[in-house]
């Protein structure tokens, strides 16, 4: 289950990770209250489950109430990458000195969690790994021992993290791993992790994908579920359908054929948007 940014940050805050001050807006009547509680300088962020919101015009700054109202009016209920914007997150603007990247993801090859960090925050990590491989460090984590202090410092040293950020960075990386373990995550990511001009580290953006099979252990997360494509297909069509992160639709007969074609697509650099088996029933 993919969480919206505001939901991920709610969990981050609950587990002690630093996040910017923010307020959720679902109606235009709420804009003034949200602006006054977060402003005077705010970022207005469309809450949709897609990447690249900034490039698509879904994240905009506002420096006055009038500007905030205008932006909110244009974004709320608009279409962003094929999805309706039903919520906006009003968030304090940060005085940015530096931006980093950190994540904890499932490493299926090693069958363990994998910590990833980079000095290049605010960019697609795959592009960073391609063009700046020396500025990305990874660390397999043994779940029996968890992420140790020396390991967090080790990956920070690998990317050449400035010494003044070391303690806060390693503490935050360990906190992100705690989120991953506590919520049975498949992925948890902060991009960018902002260092403010005052030297504070804050999660400027956040992603959290929770394993669907663990939702019975997390009623707070399960309560956020929305009827989506997956549920709609299963209910109306009875097909085996799994939504993925890519952009190539896939409809096949038989799970084996589907898996083989997914592997072929990946081998040529593509990303399937779904796993759909229509070869039964």
Which entry of 101, 177, 180, 241 is annotated as an active-site residue?
101
Which entry of 4, 180, 189, 241 is annotated as an active-site residue?
189
Query: For this structure, is 101 an active site residue?
Result: yes
CB 124 within 8 A of CB 190: no
Compute CA distances 66 → 63, 71, 218, whole Å. Answer: 9, 9, 40
- Angle separating helix axes 31-38 and 65-75, nearest 10 degrees: 130
Query: For this structure, is 183 an active site residue?
Result: no
Q: If you count them, how many residues does the chain have?
A: 281
Catalytic site positions: 101, 189
């Amino acid at each position: 289950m993919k969480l919206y940014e505001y939901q991920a940050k709610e969990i981050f805050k609950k587990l002690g990770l630093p996040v910017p001050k923010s307020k959720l807006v679902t109606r235009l009547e709420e804009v003034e209250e949200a602006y006054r509680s977060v402003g005077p300088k705010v970022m207005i962020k469309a809450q949709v489950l897609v990447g690249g919101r900034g490039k698509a015009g879904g994240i905009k700054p506002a420096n006055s109430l009038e500007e905030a109202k205008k932006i909110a009016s244009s974004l709320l209920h608009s279409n962003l990458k094929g999805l309706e914007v039903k919520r906006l997150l009003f968030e304090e603007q940060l005085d940015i000195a530096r931006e980093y990247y950190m994540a904890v993801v499932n490493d299926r090859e090693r069958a363990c969690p994998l910590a990833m960090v980079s000095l290049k925050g605010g960019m697609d990590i795959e592009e960073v790994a391609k063009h700046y491989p020396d500025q990305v460090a990874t660390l397999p984590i043994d779940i029996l021992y968890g992420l140790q202090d020396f390991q967090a410092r080790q990956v920070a040293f690998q990317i050449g993290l400035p010494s003044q950020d070391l303690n806060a960075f390693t503490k935050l990386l360990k906190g992100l791993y705690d989120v991953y373990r506590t919520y049975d995550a498949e992925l948890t990511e902060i991009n960018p992790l902002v260092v403010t001009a005052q030297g504070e580290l804050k999660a400027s953006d956040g992603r959290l994908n929770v394993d669907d099979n663990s939702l019975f252990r997390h009623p707070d997360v399960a309560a956020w579920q929305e009827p989506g494509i997956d549920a709609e297909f299963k209910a109306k069509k009875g097909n085996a359908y799994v939504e993925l992160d890519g952009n190539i639709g896939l409809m096949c007969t038989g799970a084996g054929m589907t898996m083989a074609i997914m592997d072929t697509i990946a081998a040529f650099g593509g990303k399937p948007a779904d796993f759909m088996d229509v070869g039964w029933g």
